[in-house]
Chains A and B, each alone.
Chain A
């Protein structure tokens, strides 16, 4: 479990706090979406979870280890992996397999064990045949997969994805999203930052942030049900929810706790059918 207690953080000492008294917990195997306008502190918050940043006030602990404790930092970073926004700057190896071997190499694992983890991670992201390729010859989506494989090779309990689908085409996006879901099914907790609400409709819990605070949190249905509040924060809601909400505004008697296009179709069809029947 990751515990964030009363965390306040400032980049510069006299300035406004970027994080303001944040409290949250993340359980094993959870899927959490974090949303909020640019500059609301999402990235700053998640960098606290794997000891890349330390709270100025309050405390963060990962499976009982305080991130402020120097002797735990290594283990905290192994347990909480982070896939950064720009995979180009995250890949450090000269070939795909060497990049994936970077993390396990830092853990000082013996070579045969590294080999096994590299092969396993490559298979999990579907890049088995690309082990020897050089990073600059990969497509954007493939680079992202390499950076995910590099984290998987550390065998973490939690993985943070910071806008994992930015700059990707629709097929690349779908591939990444299905891999994230797959990873979650295998028991790894996911912390997924995004601006695209459709990506996190199946998350277990969504945290909405604004100006360094958690504004509200709840299941996707609860969060996206607060359409007015989301709009006030200039945040999107899933397209299907928006559609239902607009129909409701025009006086249609329709459910608004709808998250996906499929659900919207069914709801509208049943509404049409009942109209025909009467």
Chain B
């Protein structure tokens, strides 16, 4: 899971877009796809494929980011296929269920929507440095600041969380090895035994996390951290391609609204 959507360095137009614009676009596209009919869905998909081209990511890489969600997609599909009322195509014996025409198409469509969501999110994370992504999130939340939303603190929290993921993975490995050296076995045994050995991993991990958190907090304080405004190494600024991207998104929104008025095919 940790490798999902990891940043792929590059210098494409998508890489260079302002992270706020990219985030906003993903949010807009996600809302549109969830409300979309077949035509709009096709249009959005064509757009997504164009974006993949522009980002110079290989299709293989984008597709592989869907892999961790495969089970979810299959379940989603099966649920719709089996539990939608309509004209039955195939009856499944003994359980009173049947695959319906409507269910089949519904399943395909919903699965497609979710694949679209995941693809959008992974293109975002593959073309945006995590730190830029976080400044993007902070930028998007900025209008909420007058309402008392601590946007600076949220940004610091997110970046600390991301910063410490590899550290904790290393810690898990260390604790695991220390216990294996004393005869623990994490592979053998039934479910109950495995659960127990996971507990013996989790406790020391949580304890060490608290210790680390305290030390890190002290170090941050020592370096002058305080709640409230701070400045950053990189300042986000909009370039002409960012405005162009905004226009493209606006056109898509308007276009999809207009499609509702077209005579349906």
**Scoring B residues 212 to 230 as 1 if CB is less than 8 Å from chain A, else 0, what string do you get?**
1001101111111110011
- Is A89 positioned at the interface, with any CB of B under 8 Å from its CB? yes
Q: Is the CB of A93 within 8 A of B223?
A: no
Q: Which of B78-108 contact A (CB under 8 A)?
A: none
- Is A134 positioned at the interface, with any CB of B under 8 Å from its CB? yes
Question: Given A103-B224, A111-B233, A111-B234 in contact, is the A98-B160 Cβ separation under 8 Å?
Answer: no
Q: How far is the CB of A100 from chain B (nearest CB, A)?
A: 8
Q: Is the CB of B223 within 8 A of A150?
A: yes
- Is B235 positioned at the interface, with any CB of A under 8 Å from its CB? yes
Q: Is the CB of B216 within 8 A of A92?
A: yes
- Is A121 positioned at the interface, with any CB of B under 8 Å from its CB? no
Max chain A C-beta neighbours (<10 A), residue from B219, B220, B233: B233
Q: Which of B234-248 contact A (CB under 8 A)?
A: 234-235
B15-23, B40-48, B161-169, B254-262: which one contacts chain A? B161-169
Q: Is the CB of A89 within 8 A of B219?
A: yes
Complex CA distance for A252 and B156, rounded to whole angstroms:
63
Number of interface residues, chain B, beta carbon within 8 A: 29
Complex CA distance for A103 and B219, rounded to whole angstroms:
11
- Is B159 positioned at the interface, with any CB of A under 8 Å from its CB? yes
Question: Given A93-B159, A98-B131, A108-B230 in contact, is the A52-B218 Cβ separation under 8 Å?
Answer: yes
Chain B residues with CB below 8 A from A154, complex form: 223-224
Complex CA distance for A105 and B220, rounded to whole angstroms:
12
Select A90's contact among B130, B159, B216, beta carbons within 8 Å.
B216
The residue on A at minimum CB distance from B166 is A136
The residue on A at minimum CB distance from B134 is A94
Q: Is the CB of B225 within 8 A of A52?
A: no
Q: Which of A93-113 contact B (CB under 8 A)?
A: 93-95, 97-98, 101-111
Chain A residues with CB below 8 A from B220, complex form: 92, 102
- Is A78 positioned at the interface, with any CB of B under 8 Å from its CB? yes
Chain B residues with CB below 8 A from A50, complex form: 222
List chain B positions with a Cβ less than 8 A from chain A: 130-131, 156, 159-160, 162-163, 166-167, 170, 212, 215-216, 218-226, 229-235
**22 A-B pairs whose Cβ atoms sit less than 8 Å apart in the complex:** A77-B221, A84-B218, A84-B219, A89-B212, A92-B156, A92-B159, A92-B220, A93-B159, A94-B130, A94-B162, A102-B220, A102-B223, A104-B231, A105-B230, A106-B225, A106-B226, A108-B229, A109-B231, A111-B231, A111-B232, A111-B233, A136-B167
List chain A positions with a Cβ less than 8 A from chain B: 50, 52, 74, 77-78, 81-82, 84, 86, 88-95, 97-98, 101-111, 114-115, 118, 134-136, 150-151, 154
The 9 closest A-B pairs by CB, nearest first: A101-B233, A136-B166, A106-B224, A89-B215, A90-B219, A111-B235, A103-B223, A105-B230, A82-B222
User: Could you list 7 further interchain pairs (A-B, Cβ under 8 angstroms) beyond the known A90-B219, A110-B231, A151-B223?
Assistant: A81-B223, A89-B219, A94-B162, A94-B163, A106-B223, A108-B230, A135-B167
